Amino acid sequence: MNITLSVFMALPEGERIRNKPLTLKKGSTVANAVDLFHISDEWVWMYVLNHRQVVQRKDVLSEGDHLMVFPPMEGG
Amino acid sequence: MMYGSNGKLLRINLSNGNITTETLPQAFYRKYFGGRGMIAAILLKELAPGIDPLGPENKLVFATGILSGNPIPGTGRHSIGAKSPITGGYGDGEAGGFWGTELKRAGFDLVIVEGKSEVPVYIAIKDGEATIKNAEHLWGKHTGEVQQLLQRDEGKVRVAQIGPAGENLVKYACVVHDLEHFVGRSGIGAVMGSKNLRAVTVAGSKSPQLHDSEAVKELTRYMGQHYQTLASNIYENGTLMVLPALNAAGGLPTRNFQEGQFEEAEKFFPQTVREAYMTSRAGCYACPIRCGMNVKGGGPFDVDPQYKGPEYETVASFGSNLGVSDMEVIQKANELCNAYGLDTIATGICLSFVTEAFEKGLIGTKETHGKTLAFGDPGFLEVITDIAHRKDLGAVLAEGTRSAAEVWGNNTLPLAMQVKGQEMPLHEARLKQGLGLGYAMSPTGADHTHNLHDTLYIKETPAFKDLQALGYQEELLSPTTLDEKKVRLYHYGSFSRYLADCLVTCFFVPWNVSQLQQLIQGVTGWNTTTAEMMAVSERSIVNARRFNLREGLSQEDDVLCPRFHQPFESGPLKGTAIDEDAFFQSRNTYYQLMGWDEEGVPTKGSLARLGLMEEE
């Protein structure tokens, strides 16, 4: 199963994940995707699928999904 | 000896042409730090109660801060304040860029402009000297042309100017700095126009002396090495960083705040916009983050790139909140506002207000002077020009939404997204309910900058840890709650923002409280504490409050527009609203927490605690 991952923050070592293609086993969850990069839930405000659906770590991903990870943030 | 500042105030009277320099005591700097702290104290002391905001008795105060003028990231800002023609109370706004730094290097920390010139003028400040010069040749011209003319005539200078909107006293006219940084809120551009003051140019060549330049350099080096990680989102995406998240959460203002999710929001996602339009980064003095955008220009609307790219507020204001999905239209709206000198927030909110009123049949073509308005229709671009020139529909909208609703009646007032007359920034209070309390409590009306953004404090972020350093020791809270705990979070969160406004620093540069203390010590030599910083912040809130109370504002003005008390009918926040009883209870709790009486008046005890009794 192929998905795309975007993380709107730098990881602790400075790594950035933007529109990164990922291949996961069928039935993989949000947690399975973000755990590959050791993204702690403590840094996250929302996991969002396909730009507008807020999901939880336990939710199952589908082929072609775009998973976005947003940190807590303020005003622009 | 005073380190880090010049200790000098430049006073210019445009009625009689007098120009004087005054020396300020170090105690004044330590008590207020700068920016809104100093502006509130000065306006409270120097303005007579009840004056006309657009009369010669009003004063413009340009203020830097104790850290300004030095190559420290986040300090290239300045504030301008006056009695606001929008709210009738305390008004101010801040801009980034280079103007404030240049003023400090020209030998002044503050400038007060008073009176009114008989003819259009501009003020040229250069290395300790100021001159009033004729500006009749500049009057009526777009800001881009005036910028070029002033740089031709004055050399390498930084320019703060109004545009035609300020000349025409549009209530929400802004002050444009070098065409890309704006004091947008509170109608400061209209006050400048009322004085026949088109521009203030500055040029300076001498930085203030630092107490410990090595300590300051070390901190600056640290930020230079770590900003890409500490401020990764704003660095990569600019202020548009918030748009995808707000849309997903259901808090992206859409069609005059009727909805919270825009069906074509993807077109405004930061990477999409940056890849399509950005040519290079734009930024402020000494800041490596450079969150702004230089853009290509051109396109179907022949966008002029000298006015730069739009920020989040502008994209949401002319995009989702007007139902517009075409980035070219938004860029044109941005260009027009910057060329005319209009606040993009207030202009967009006026347009979304009139569009909703028209679509709902509360007004007709008689009120719109024959214009047919619809969400998603780029025809609103013509109305921007009419607002700047006070023509037809633009003449009514130039006074703001509250005033227009009073003119039109027919139950249009509930559609006016404003607090105290100041139009709403593009941040949804039903998603961030502490921010909603902040809109009501802000001395300048609806304002998102010195406010709490609840969504920043839902995890133990560095910002949350900063509040802990200031004294906040509660648990993490949901953004969609409003209760006593949230009031306490708002109290500390807003204190940290008012502190930044007194230091005139940018909150996108992630200095923590400890680093700010070290910077203050390195620049000034003061051994400051968090208690002192909190007191400075609180003085700025209390003095602005006292100013407003003196001008007749009251508890009755500490309210929200009714839409925020109505639940969303669809989207992720369907059914969510700010409960009215919870809001008023929270307001009372905030008064008590601040040491104010039940009507929101600071008590003598709270004034004494802050050392403000002598200014009674």
**B 264-323 residues with CB < 8 A to A:** 265-266, 269, 271, 311-313
Nearest to B489 by CA among B601, B582, B590: B590
pLDDT of residue B157: 98
* Tens digit of each residue's pLDDT (9 = 90 or more) over B479-515: 999 999 999 999 999 999 999 999 999 999 999 999 9
Buried b (16+ CB within 10 A) or exposed e, B318-354: bbbbbbbbbbbbbbbbbbbbbbbbbbbbbbbbbbbbb
The residue type found at B380 is F
Task: Report the CATH fold assignment for B433-508+529-615.
Answer: 1.10.599
Which residues in chain A show pLDDT less than 50? none
ipTM over 0.85: yes
Strand partners, B132: B123
| Cα of B156 to nearest chain A Cα, Å | 31
Whether residue B295 has pLDDT greater than 90: yes
Question: How far is residue B448's CA from residue B507's CA, in Å, rounded to a whole number?
Answer: 12
pLDDT of residue B425: 98
Q: DSSP letters of B392-456?
A: THHHHHTT-HHHHHHHH-TT-GGG--EETTEEPPS--TTTSHHHHHHHHH-TTSS-STTS--GGG
Whether residue B616 has pLDDT greater than 60: no
Question: Mean per-residue pLDDT for B306-323?
Answer: 98
Residue B242, phi then psi, degrees to nearest 5: -80, -20
Of the two residues B475 and B15, the one the predictor is more confident about is B15
The residue type found at B605 is G
pLDDT of residue B1: 82
Cβ-based burial of B371 (10 A; exposed 0-12, middle 13-18, buried ≥19):
middle
Characterize the bridge pairing of strands B110-114 and B8-13: parallel
Task: Report the CATH fold assignment for B241-416.
Answer: 1.10.569
What does the H/E/C string look like for B544-606? HHHHHHHCCCCHHHCCCCHHHHCCECCCCCECCCCCHHHHHHHHHHHHHHHCECCCCCECHHH
**B 3-62 residues with CB < 8 A to A:** none
| Cα of A25 to nearest chain B Cα, Å | 26
CATH 3.30.590.10 is held by the domain A2-70: no
Strand partners, B19: B12
Provide the CA B588 distance to its chain's centre, in angstroms: 26
What CATH architecture does domain B8-203 belong to? 4-Layer Sandwich (3.60)
* Tens digit of each residue's pLDDT (9 = 90 or more) over B223-253: 999 999 999 999 999 999 999 999 999 999 9
Query: Which residues in chain B are contacts of A70 at CB distance < 8 A?
Result: 244-245, 248
Cβ-based burial of B305 (10 A; exposed 0-12, middle 13-18, buried ≥19):
middle
Characterize the bridge pairing of strands B60-63 and A53-55: unpaired
Whether residue B214 has pLDDT greater than 60: yes
Where do the domains of chain B lie? Answer: 8-203, 241-416, 433-508+529-615
**B111 in Cβ contact with B160 (< 8 Å):** no
Q: Taking CB atoms and an 8 Å limit, are B451 and A72 in contact across chains?
A: no
B460 → chain A, closest CA residue? A42
Q: Does A46 touch chain B (CB under 8 A)?
A: yes
* Tens digit of each residue's pLDDT (9 = 90 or more) over B250-274: 999 999 999 999 999 999 999 999 9
Residues of chain B above pLDDT 90, percent? 98
Q: Please give the mean pLDDT across all residues of chain B.
A: 97
Question: Mean per-residue pLDDT for B170-191?
Answer: 98
Q: How many residues are listed for chain B in this entry?
A: 616
